[in-house]
């Protein structure tokens, strides 16, 4: 069975943050660089802004190409939930968008004659 590489983007909202949780998240923001940490990676990355309302989690996963063997969206949701649990915050409305990188069509520029 062939494996495919997937980019999974999970989005959601923080829920019922306490003042201590807000302080912890803002402290986490001080040590992060959105341009460096905001992309897709195999480790996964959680990004959010100072408003502490919405967040996104981006991860690259490898899974069988047959969706019955493993669903990258479910794996991405689990990884995002684990990252949020590690920060000790509640969340709601998780949803995942999956892109199969092996199925993407690449449009190459045409040469000028």
Q: Structural domains in the chain? A: 3-100 (3.30.70)
Report how far residue 5's alpha carbon sits from residue 7's, in angstroms, rounded to the nearest whole number.
7
Q: Contact, 14 vs 53, CB < 8 A?
A: yes
Query: Residue 70 and residue 61: Cα distance in Å, rounded?
Result: 11
pLDDT value of position 65: 67
Confidence at residue 103, expressed as pLDDT on a 0 to 100 scale:
80
Q: What are 32-61's pLDDT values in tens digits?
A: 665 566 688 888 989 998 899 999 999 999
* Other CB atoms within 10 Å distance of the CB of residue 24: 15
Q: Express each pLDDT in 81-102 by its tens digit.
A: 999 999 899 999 999 999 888 8
Share of the chain above pLDDT 90, in %: 48
Question: If you average pLDDT over every residue of the chain, what do you get?
Answer: 85
Give the span between the Cα atoms of 58 and 12, in whole angstroms. 12
């Amino acid at each position: 069975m062939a494996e495919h590489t997937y980019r999974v983007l999970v989005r959601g909202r923080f829920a019922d943050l306490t003042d201590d949780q807000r302080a912890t998240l803002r402290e986490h923001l001080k040590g992060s660089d959105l341009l460096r940490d905001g992309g897709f990676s195999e480790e996964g990355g959680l990004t959010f802004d100072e408003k502490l309302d919405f967040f996104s989690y981006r991860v690259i996963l490898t899974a069988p190409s047959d969706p019955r063997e493993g669903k990258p969206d479910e794996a991405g949701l689990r990884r995002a939930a684990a990252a949020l649990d590690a920060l000790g915050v509640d969340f709601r409305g998780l949803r995942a968008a999956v892109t199969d990188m092996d199925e993407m069509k690449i449009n190459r520029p045409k040469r000028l004659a």
